[in-house]
Amino acid sequence: MTDRVAGGQGRHVGPARGWAGPLGHAVHIVAALAGLLIVIQSLIVVQARPQDLVTGIHGMADILRRAMPPDFTQLDKELWPALETVDIAIFGTLAGVMMALPLAVLAAANVTPSRPLYYAARGIIGFTRAVPDLVWALFFVTAVGLGPFPGGLALAVHSIGMLGRLFAETIEHMDMAPIDALALTGARRLQIFTHGVVPSVLPALLGIGLYRLDENIRASLVLGFVGAGGIGFQLLTAMNLFQYREVSLLLIVIFVIVLIAERLSAMLREKLA
Amino acid sequence: MLEVRGLSLRYPNGKQALTDFSLAVAAGELVIVLGGNGSGKTTLLRCIARALVPGAGTIRVNGTDLTRLAGDRLRRARLELAMISQQAALVRRRSVLANVASGALGRHGGIWTTLGGLPNAELAAAHLHLDEVGLAPLAAQRAGTLSGGQAQRVAIARALAQRPRVLLADEPVASLDPEAAEDIMRLLRRLAAEENLAVLCVLHQVELAYAYADRVVGIRDGSVAFDLPRADLSREAVRQLYLSEAA
């Protein structure tokens, strides 16, 4: 297919996009069948049995009945683990930001000082992101023992990957004109970074950091399941002991934490925009 | 002050952008470069600023050949030579004053400027430079809030903060309305005279060249087509310059 001239105005338009005619219909049908096959195989692999939901409704209703009303007498006991959960997320996010920032600079193609450092930084970012935070938590529980510290470490290391990638992309997409202009004034490399790169991308990086904090608060809720501190440990214990009224209280506390974190994060990000 | 001799540059794609290009700009002189699209005007300026590495030739600023320098020696030599471009290229989220003062960073190597600070003396000087371009009242404003003309004036003030001997201006009025364009050209004219700057300015607007240049250099296919005092520049020479582009 070659370029066509539109409307006799001499304006070139690109080659026709997509498929036309009977061949196009055949391609659409094959694509639709392929999509259907993907959905069917996923239903088979997850052994989806909707009828079990119907037969299991009595069990669910029983748990709900036993969970009501929430046991608010336990509230003061849950406040410390709740604070621990939030602090695990704050520690994990701050440590993650501090480690992700230099890595992101090395991993941003437009500002990296050298190609080998670029690939090394990309490798670290990719690896820390690929391993789930729960696996990192198991690893650190083994290394430093039970408690909130391994939880914080797990979130920090996983955050390096998540933040590093987003930070690097933000730096790569920034306007390079002011950076080039500073370079031509005779400014040094680090000065260009602190006077040009940092002020240009800082609000976006803070926004990403706040979003990560919001995500980390959710993540820290379940880290307790593997002994990494926080309210997740209380939740697991209450469930194992069939204390469903305490479970429902914990779910309310979790809901409030998530809601507040989400609103605060959104509010601050809006201010930074 | 600025002396370019036999400058040649070929891009990696094989295009010969500059061929044996020579020109000189004396202190206090405003030289305007005219030429069609793709004739090599911007390449010439970027080459002189050593943002591009020429294949042959010399670029002397106050006697120092920039083509022989690299690394920190080149960085220090660049202090003598400021460049403004079509986009003002300001850091939008910093104040106007900080943007201007950042032009002086090359002269300061301490920890304070490395951490993002600006010396008080340079901030005070930046105020004076802003006053010089008529924007002192906007010092505290964020650079991102300025109009095109104001931003270009701030870019000029930043260039002045560098305390250069040579000012390169790459189509500084291309995105401005005619009134703002005249303003900027008047400012460049005044700076050349009062600050004793050698100003080399690339333009598309022939009328502005007639109004403000001391000398006009025509560039065609990366070579000098003419180099004449403004008074000797004929309309025919300019017509021929742009005709060659149309052909």
pLDDT > 50? residue A4: no
pLDDT > 90? residue B205: no
Chain B residues touching A198 at Cβ < 8 A: 116
In tens, the pLDDT along A10-59 reads 344 444 455 667 788 889 999 999 999 999 999 889 888 888 888 888 88
Hey, are the CB atoms on B106 and A185 less than 8 Å from each other? Answer: yes
The residue of chain A nearest to residue B108, with distances taken between CA atoms, is A187
Angstrom distance (rounded) from CA A165 to CA A208? 11
Angstrom distance (rounded) from CA A75 to CA A248? 11
Hey, are the CB atoms on B103 and A185 less than 8 Å from each other? Answer: yes
Q: Which of B93, B104, B159 sits opposite A200 (nearest CB)?
A: B93
Q: Which of B82, B89, B116 sits opposite A195 (nearest CB)?
A: B116
Chain B residues touching A190 at Cβ < 8 A: 114
Hey, are the CB atoms on B114 and A200 less than 8 Å from each other? Answer: no
Containing A136, the helix (H) or strand (E) segment is helix A133-144
Q: Report in angstroms the alpha-carbon separations of B148 from A191, A206, B179.
A: 26, 28, 12
Judge whether A238 and A169 are in contact, CB under 8 Å: no
pLDDT > 70? residue A136: yes
B166-170 and B81-84 strand pairing: parallel
Higher pLDDT, B114 or B243: B114
State pTM to two decimals. 0.72
Hey, are the CB atoms on A203 and B93 less than 8 Å from each other? Answer: yes
For domain A75-272, give its CATH number from 1.10.600.10, 1.10.3720.10, 3.40.50.720, 3.40.47.40. 1.10.3720.10
Phi, psi of A58 (to 5 degrees): -65, -40
Give the model's pLDDT for residue A2. Answer: 37
In tens, the pLDDT along A201-213 reads 888 888 888 888 8
Judge whether B5 and B22 are in contact, CB under 8 Å: yes
Higher pLDDT, B77 or A229: B77
> Where are the CATH 3.40.50.300 domain residues in chain B?
1-80+165-247
Give the model's pLDDT for residue A159. Answer: 92
Give the model's pLDDT for residue B245. Answer: 56
Among the residue ranges A45-54, A263-272, B93-102, the one predicted with the least confidence is A263-272
Contact of B19 with chain A, judged by CB distance below 8 Å, is answered with no
Nearest to A185 by CA among B130, B13, B164: B164
Mean pLDDT of B227-245: 82
Hey, are the CB atoms on B92 and A178 less than 8 Å from each other? Answer: yes
Give the model's pLDDT for residue A99. Answer: 92
Q: Where are the alpha helices (DSSP H) in B133-234?
A: 148-161, 178-194, 206-212
Give me the interface pTM, i.e. the ipTM: 0.84
Hey, are the CB atoms on A200 and B82 less than 8 Å from each other? Answer: no
Q: Which fold has domain B1-80+165-247?
A: Rossmann fold (3.40.50)
Contact of B165 with chain A, judged by CB distance below 8 Å, is answered with no
What percent of chain B has pLDDT above 90? 35
Give the model's pLDDT for residue A146. Answer: 84
State the pLDDT confidence band at B26, using cuts at 50, 70 and 90: very high
Unique residue bearing structure tokens 């004929």? B234
Name the residue ranges covered by the structural domains of chain A.
Answer: 75-272
Burial class (CB within 10 angstroms; exposed 0-12, middle 13-18, buried 19+) of B14: exposed
What percent of chain A has pLDDT above 90? 25
Sheet holding B64-65, edge to edge: B16-25, B2-10, B56-61, B64-65
Contact of B106 with chain A, judged by CB distance below 8 Å, is answered with yes
pLDDT > 70? residue A9: no
Angstrom distance (rounded) from CA A105 to CA A94? 17
pLDDT > 70? residue A273: no
Unique residue bearing structure tokens 């029983």? A62
